[in-house]
Amino acid sequence: MSHRRQTGSAAVWSLMLFTTLALFATTLYAIFVVAPVEQRMGIVQKIFYFHVPSAYAMYIGFGASAVGSAGYLLKRDPKWDALGVAGAEVGTLFCLIVLLTGPLWARKAWGVWWTWDPRLTTTLLAGMVFAAYLALRSLGDAGEVEKRFAAGLALFGLVDLPLIHYSVQRWRGVHPTVITGKGGGLESEMYWALGLSFVAFTGLAALLIWARASVERQRDETARLKLELMHR
Amino acid sequence: MRALIAAFVLGFTMLVAPMALAEDPPSEPGAATSDVPKDAAEERATQFVGVRGPDTESVPGGALLLAAYAIVWVLLFLFLMRIRGLQRHTAEELERLSAEIRASGSR
């Protein structure tokens, strides 16, 4: 039964992997061939098609971490803790991508690498909260107290996610709001490229969380076996 | 007589002193300095004017775009390598521990 389940999981994993790779290839074609160059910013605006979906993948990662942490605090099941760790790592990876690609675009669009705009600041804050989570979990084999404290930290970080999302609507700043704002929006080819990129990044985030969580479950199993050997 | 002279001096002082202490009115910008040679301090910029039209700063958009996409792929690759390394290390550790448990069970 377990073997059949493993084979099924491997098949789903492979299917997701090939679908995501095909989606990325199509997305790159849509970005660089189909979508037009933006009139005012020029070619640098094409960073947008990876920058925004990366921010969305960051939400998925941090959201998964918060869900896993809440589950662990309620049930003390290592599977939930593995989801918490995997989500935090994947979310931090995409947060780093957002915080590095954003300034490259801003340099051209705003003339500066960084400005303390509400959306930029709240995104940096989320990255720092989950970096603290990962730093706490990387201090050797995490005990029960460290795991619970880190879970609380992930839930604290979750509070920042709506702040990031609504910061462009509630507070004054310079960050563009072409998708959710009341401006002119995007041209139809741009929407297609962005939509495909969103789907591709969703698949990628899910795959990475899955892979990282399975490794974390194996590490839990290793820790359990070590404990068993010590008590023999 | 002395009182008359004292009153005159006091009155004259009160009339003339404010005029003597009064400052010259500020001259029009550029009018007073047009015939006077400028020293280094006077040549400092006194205002900044924004550039209008096509003569703006040129930032290479293509290089920034390339850097952004390179960052994405490099970070994803490094993360995948990290997962692979962790997976390999954990699998080896699991194998070793399982063997130790089997060995201790058969004793």
Q: Give ipTM to 2 decimals.
A: 0.89
A217: pLDDT strictly greater than 90: yes
Using the 8-state DSSP alphabet, how is residue B59 labeled? -
Give the gap in angstroms from C-alpha A168 to the nearest C-alpha of chain B. 23
Count up the domains in chain A and report the number.
Answer: 1
This prediction has a pTM of 0.78
**Chain B 67-96, CB below 8 Å of chain A: which residues?**
67-69, 71-72, 75-76, 79, 83, 86-87, 90-91, 93-94
* Amino acid occupying residue A7: T
Q: In whole angstroms, what is the distance from residue A113 CA to residue A44 CA?
A: 14
Residue A231 pLDDT: 78
pLDDT band at A229 (very low <50, low <70, confident <90, very high): confident
Residue B104 pLDDT: 80
DSSP H helices, chain A, are 2-29, 48-75, 78-109, 118-137, 144-170, 188-230
Residues 6 or more apart whose CB falls under 8 angstroms from that of A45 comprise A37, A38, A105, A109
Q: Do A215 and B87 touch (CB under 8 A)?
A: yes
How far apart, in Å, are the Cα atoms of A162 and each of A37, A55, A125? 31, 13, 12
Residue B9 pLDDT: 67
Residue B30 pLDDT: 44
Interface residues from chain A to B (CB-CB < 8 Å): 41-44, 46-47, 50-51, 54, 89-90, 93, 96-97, 100-101, 104-105, 107-108, 111, 204, 208, 211-212, 215, 218-219, 221-222, 225-226, 228-229, 232
CATH number of the domain to which A57 belongs: 1.20.120
Residue B50 pLDDT: 57
Helix (H) or strand (E) holding B66: helix B61-106
Domain that holds residue A87: 2-230
B56: pLDDT strictly greater than 60: no
Reduce the DSSP state of residue A146 to 3 states and report it. Answer: helix
Helix A188-230 to helix A48-75 angle (10° resolution) is: 30
Q: In whole angstroms, what is the distance from residue B94 CA to residue A19 CA?
A: 31
Give the residue, B22 or A129, on which the prediction is more confident. Answer: A129
Q: In whole angstroms, what is the distance from residue A218 CA to residue A212 CA?
A: 10
Q: In whole angstroms, what is the distance from residue B65 CA to residue B41 CA?
A: 44
Residue A9 pLDDT: 80
Residue B20 pLDDT: 54
Residue A11 pLDDT: 87
DSSP string spanning B18-46? HHHHPPPPPPPTTTTTTTS---TGGGS--
Residue B40 pLDDT: 46
Q: Which residue has 């709506």 as its token pair?
A: A162
| Poorest-pLDDT segment among A113-122, A188-197, A214-223, B3-12 | B3-12
Q: Which of A44, A215, A221 sits opposite B65 (nearest CB)?
A: A44
Q: Which of A44, A100, A229 sits opposite B100 (nearest CB)?
A: A229
* Amino acid occupying residue A227: L
What torsion, rounded to 10 degrees, do the Cα atoms A181, A185, A190, A196 define?
A: 40
pLDDT, tens digit (0-9, with 9 covering 90-100), for B27-55: 444 444 444 455 544 445 555 565 555 55
For residue B10, the tally of other CB atoms under 10 A from its CB is: 10
**Beta bridge mates, A17:** none
User: B86: nearest CA in chain A?
Assistant: A215
